[in-house]
Structure 1
Amino acid sequence: MSELPSTLRGVLIQAAGTQLLLPNAAVAEVLSYSDPEPIAHAPLWLLGRVRWRGWQVPLVDFSRLDGIDAGSQPAAGGRRRVLVVKAPGGHARLPYFAFLADGFPRLMSLSEATLETLAESSDPGRCIFARVAINDESAVVPDMDAVESRLRSELPEAA
């Protein structure tokens, strides 16, 4: 049996009300922001769809999705980015979704010495897997399965 690596690579993303920590392997690409195509009757957290490699990828504002900062406005101008991520469920109609980011993500090396779990989520209605500290910074680890599930419930064509 092989040993787990002593360090993992993660991506730290500034989102309107918090920082998100994602596994580097989950991120497919970082794009410059362009206005998404609106989705009729979508909740505030579902900003629309962005075009990426022939896909119409739903764009999520995580801070609004999980109610971290429901009144926040994303950073203006050229600082906004779109992080296309692989959906964990492997559904043919929703293989990817995207998170809105304020600026470029930071690649980080994570180890037991640098990463501390502050709290695991106990609320099944939330899209937070855990709250963590990375050195002196706090971040939220999204529950990617829960985000995907919420998207599938809002997008009938993705179900």
Structure 2
Amino acid sequence: MQQRPLLIPSACIADIENYSRPEPNYPEAEWLLGDLNWRGAKIPVVSFERLNRGRFAEFSATNRIAVMHRTSKNNRLPFYAMVVQGVPQPLTLVREEVRSATDETGPMEKYRVLLREVPASIPDLYLLEQKINEVISGYKHEVVQETGEMSE
């Protein structure tokens, strides 16, 4: 994110891609930037900043797309993508290096923390996926099933 890093379990990240502008398909949700073709399937692309009521720059040379595995049991959304800044870095966390931050969380954050004295956000991925499902439920989507087969 532009304002503060996100802490996401590495198991949630399926792939990191160079940024390409998503195909706009969801005019009623400015935070849902559109769809991206990924491995033969269209997956929705989210601006976490917009959904969390922050600012989002449309394009930066450091933008990347993080393709995310779903955390819920919804087969309709096995993958989705999130715009990120730079290349995500793996971290090994030690309890003593993480402490609660005192500032208020945004609507899509579970927690705000200080990681080695750097402000960071822990997103509510389950809620994020619910929000995506609410919007895309009215649209017909090709999705990749867990087996790798395509279906609608």
User: Mapping of 1:4-153 within 5 angstroms?
Assistant: 15-69=1-55, 72-77=56-61, 79-118=62-101, 126-153=107-134
Q: Which runs of 5+ in 2 are unaligned?
A: 141-152
CA distance in 1, matches of 2:52, 2:15: 23
The one-letter code matched in structure 2 to 1:98 is A
CA distance in 2, matches of 1:54, 1:94: 15
Instruction: Give the superposed CA RMSD.
Output: 2.1
1:91 Cα deviation from its structure 2 partner: 1.5
- Give the conservation status (yes or no) of the 8 Å contact 1:16–1:75: no
The one-letter code matched in structure 2 to 1:41 is P
Is the partner of 1:49 in helix, strand or coil?
strand
Partner of 1:6: none
Q: Which runs of 5+ in 1 are unaligned?
A: 1-14
Q: Which moved more, 1:25-34 or 1:15-24?
A: 15-24
Report Cα offsets for 1:89-140 as digits up to 9, x if no partner.
Answer: 12121011111011111111111121223269788xx211110111021111
- Give the conservation status (yes or no) of the 8 Å contact 2:99–2:114: yes
Q: What percent of counterpart residues are identical? A: 27
Change in Cα spacing, 1:94 to 1:68, as seen in structure 2 (3 Å) is same
Q: Higher strand share goes to which structure?
A: 1
Query: Paired residues, what number?
Result: 139
Q: TM-score, normalised by structure 2?
A: 0.82
Is the partner of 2:43 in helix, strand or coil?
strand
Q: TM-score, normalised by structure 1?
A: 0.79
- Give the conservation status (yes or no) of the 8 Å contact 1:30–1:84: yes
